[in-house]
Structure 1
Amino acid sequence: MARDKDNPLFASGKGRGREPLASRMRPRTLDEFTGQEHIVGPGRLLRRAIQKDQLSSIILSGPPGTGKTTLARIIANTTRSAFIALNAVLSGVGELREAIEKARQHYELYSLKTILFVDEVHRWNKSQQDALLPWVENGTVVLIGATTENPFFEVNRALVSRSRVFLLRTLTDEDLARIARMTLEDKERGYGNYSIRFESGALEHLVHTADGDARSLLNALELAIETSVETWPPASGADIDVSLETAEESIQKRVVLYDKDGDYHY
């Protein structure tokens, strides 16, 4: 499999200091992926296409932190095709032309098709999106576009018509709680080498206040845990206590008193 290893999407973190928790805990396979059962659950079309490496052009649309880039990374890790990633904020027509030339070489030299992932594809203007269209039409690239906007309004209609649109939903509190548990138990990438105790309501506060955004949850979890000891990292097996106050500060929103039977329920 060929892929664009210079792109930050695939950076390993070696030589760049310690990776943030959200980057370390990115799911590597569909089995590790949490949420979005309606599109990647067992037997679903997108899951079958990824597993069989028979992907056609798609657009992934959904709120931040719901797994769009993670799905692209899983595809990059599993496909036998060449894989090139661009960020529409940082790339223009010049970078697109370079990617297309690489895709042509992949096919001519190795008979490999190329999957082109464009993050925040809605940030390209109409002329930039138009420049991509003929290469999607003639099969030089298979497009994976990711956007937080409604693609039917913000993405070139011709691109949308040649792609299958998958809508990712905001993660539920149950999804986020599962991500938190996996992070606390993971000895390789998370905090499984420590004994971490949360004050009553602290972890629940992080989960609920993250509001369906896995990245927000993991960023807050990292801050709460790693500022709850004098120095980081502590010795393996160390006890770490995370208070409700620390959890509140880590995600910058205080707990709202709630009593469904009292004056605060309305």
Structure 2
Amino acid sequence: MEPDLFTAAAEERQEKDPAGSPLAVRMRPRTLDEVMGQQHLLKPGSPLRRLVGEGGGGPAGASSVILWGPPGIGKTTLAYVVSKATDKRFVELSAITAGVKEVRAVIDGARRASGGYGKETVLFLDEIHRFSKAQQDSLLPAVENRWVTLIAATTENPYFSVISPLLSRSLLLTLEPLTDDDLRDLLKRALTEERGLGGAVTLPEDAEAHLLRLAGGDARRALTALEAAAGAALDKGEAEITLATLEETVDRAAVKYDRDGDQHYDVASALIKSIRGSDVDAALHYLARMIEAGEDPRFIARRLMISASEDIGLADPNALPIAVAAAQAVAMIGFPEAALTLSHATIALALAPKSNAATTAISAAQADVRNGLAGPVPPHLRDGHYKGAAKLGHAQGYVYPHDVPGGIAAQQYAPDAVHGKRYYTPTRYGAEARYADVVEKVRERLRGEG
């Protein structure tokens, strides 16, 4: 049986028995005007509006659409709305489970439907970045010949994950994360509209705030949790979804953390100070609080990178590369998997030997510069590559360190105003102990004492 027949049957069941469908399905927008967020794509005359025939028809040359954005923000919904607005069959496949065979079956069915009773097909392919280059190549004939309108969704940068021939034939639409206000409006509609919960229960502010934190910008997650909590409340004979009922339903305690208030900075400060104090368990606690509160993982990763230099430095030279790698990984994968990466980095930093020598060194050097201790660059260090530099004495007398045994030449590098100043005072902790031994020997050689 063709995949599109399953889809059609599911749609028919939903229309006959909407109450039997999950809340997230019942609240799925039926028109572009019902789509939450994405206002940059929904303006009059936008490519998306033209795609569904509003304001002059579809965009010239675009035979497919690529939707790029994080999970749970409406990529499937937009594809569904486009198919309904253009009166086309809607077939959904996932690149995780489908292969070339399934894609060809849909394309063959689309060609028969088009030739048999003039019904065009929208093929929604989720997670297209999971397809190999060869699998993506198999889509090209259908796109070029317009046998289907391909709408592909990806959470990864399409310029890296989608082949160029397909990308060049596509209208690329970047979807933005849903805001708390977007989700709040969606919850209100789900609570009051007949196709939703029809006013059967209410949601007080504290429970709503917790639900928004749990959702983390994911509309599907928000509606799923709301439906479960509403069912639990009604089973108890209650007309209000209390915070306690919501917590019981989702099996997660409400986090006492305000992303926009003082606690945002208090918890972030506590995380860094726990890492500085080498208390790995406390650090993980504060990390968990930030994650559960819906903190931006990129904010956490930035704090870890700062900590790696501020509190660890050369005591463990691997600390900063670990923190940077974590930040890069977080930007690519997002939550929930990013929690593992942040945990990895937090543990490594908390258990690393500590040194603030790099911090105090640059602070002392900056203080001297601000106080006017700068002075001219010594003549022998000045640029000598331009005509007339030698007449000015620039670069004259400079000793090339590579020509000296040991690679250290006894000459003055700092301006007179700060000559002899010592900014870097290494500790004897971890790998920095090696630098403590080296720096004194280097300073002796620079003075011509070694």
Of Structure 1 and Structure 2, the greater strand share is in: 1
More moved, 15-24 vs 35-44: 15-24
Corresponding residue for residue 149 of structure 2: 142
Of Structure 1 and Structure 2, the greater helix share is in: 2
State the Cα distance separating 1:230 from its structure 2 match: 2.9
State the Cα distance separating 1:262 from its structure 2 match: 10
Choose the corresponding residue for 2:200, options 183, 189, 194.
194
Deviations 1:187-239 (A, max 9, x none): 2x2122424252x41112212331111011111111222112336xx6xxxx5
Deviations 1:22-50 (A, max 9, x none): 11111111121111111123332212321
Equivalences, count? 256
Corresponding residue for residue 54 of structure 1: 58
Choose the corresponding residue for 1:73, options 59, 80, 96.
80
Residue 224 (structure 1) aligned with residue 225 (structure 2): no
State the Cα distance separating 1:179 from its structure 2 match: 0.1
Letter in 2 for 1:183: A
Contact 2:7 2:90 survives alignment (8 Å): no
Choose the corresponding residue for 2:186, options 161, 179, 187.
179
Compared with structure 1, are the counterparts of its residues 82 and 222 closer, same or farther at alpha carbon in structure 2 (3 Å cutoff)? closer
Contact 1:5 1:11 survives alignment (8 Å): no
Unaligned runs of 5+ in 2: 270-450
State the Cα distance separating 1:154 from its structure 2 match: 1.6
Corresponding residue for residue 243 of structure 2: 244
State the Cα distance separating 1:156 from its structure 2 match: 1.9
State the Cα distance separating 1:162 from its structure 2 match: 1.2
Corresponding residue for residue 7 of structure 2: 7
Q: How does 1:25-40 map to 2 (within 5 A)?
A: 25-40=27-42
Choose the corresponding residue for 2:100, options 93, 100, 107.
93
Contact 1:103 1:141 survives alignment (8 Å): yes
Q: Identity over the aligned pairs, expressed in percent? A: 42
State the Cα distance separating 1:99 from its structure 2 match: 1.6
Compared with structure 1, are the counterparts of its residues 11 and 44 closer, same or farther at alpha carbon in structure 2 (3 Å cutoff)? same
Deviations 1:159-203 (A, max 9, x none): 11211111111100000000000011112x2122424252x4111
Could you say what the CA RMSD is over the residues aligned between the two structures, in angstroms?
Answer: 2.8
Unaligned runs of 5+ in 1: none
Q: How does 1:122-141 map to 2 (within 5 A)?
A: 122-141=129-148
State the Cα distance separating 1:111 from its structure 2 match: 4.9
State the Cα distance separating 1:149 from its structure 2 match: 1.8
Corresponding residue for residue 255 of structure 2: 255
Letter in 1 for 2:215: A
Contact 2:257 2:263 survives alignment (8 Å): no
Distance 1:33 1:136 in 2: 26
Contact 2:91 2:123 survives alignment (8 Å): yes
Letter in 2 for 1:247: L
TM-score w.r.t. structure 1 length? 0.84
Contact 1:115 1:144 survives alignment (8 Å): yes
- Structure showing greater radius of gyration is 2
Letter in 2 for 1:156: I
Deviations 1:83-127 (A, max 9, x none): 433222232111211122222223434455433221222222221
Distance 2:17 2:97 in 1: 23
Question: Which structure has the higher relative contact order (CA within 8 Å, separation 6+)?
Answer: 1
Is the partner of 2:191 in helix, strand or coil? helix
Compared with structure 1, are the counterparts of its residues 211 and 262 closer, same or farther at alpha carbon in structure 2 (3 Å cutoff)? closer
